[in-house]
Amino acid sequence: MLRFVQKIVGTLDKSLSYPGSLVLDFFAGSGTTGRVCIEHKRHCLLCDQDPLTLEYFARHIKNAREQKELEFIRFDDLECFLAALNVLKVKG
């Protein structure tokens, strides 16, 4: 079932984005979008309100990694997340 879901997400990813683009998934759940993005050389921002998903993402996405640097950050609320985005925008 997982490979089937990855295939669907992969088809959407290839159709709606290009290598190097940023894909946002605000209901990340299992992290499938992140795994597909890594395989297709896209950047991704995964969000989920369940704190347990961070650990699951790390395991699920680790399998798709090709010696790429991954960073997992947990934000307790939307204000912290937006503040971090603003800092990144100023740096970049």
CA distance 13 to 40: 8
CA distance 6 to 60: 12
pLDDT at 57: 76
- Cα dist from 61 to 25, 38, 80, 85, whole Å: 14, 8, 24, 22
Instruction: Give me the domains of the chain, ranges plus CATH numbers.
Output: 2-91 (3.40.50.150)
pLDDT at 89: 58
Task: Quickly tell me which residue has 């890594």 as its tokens.
Answer: 38
Which stretches of the chain drop beneath a pLDDT of 50? 67
On whether the pTM is more than 0.75, the answer is no
CA distance 52 to 80: 19
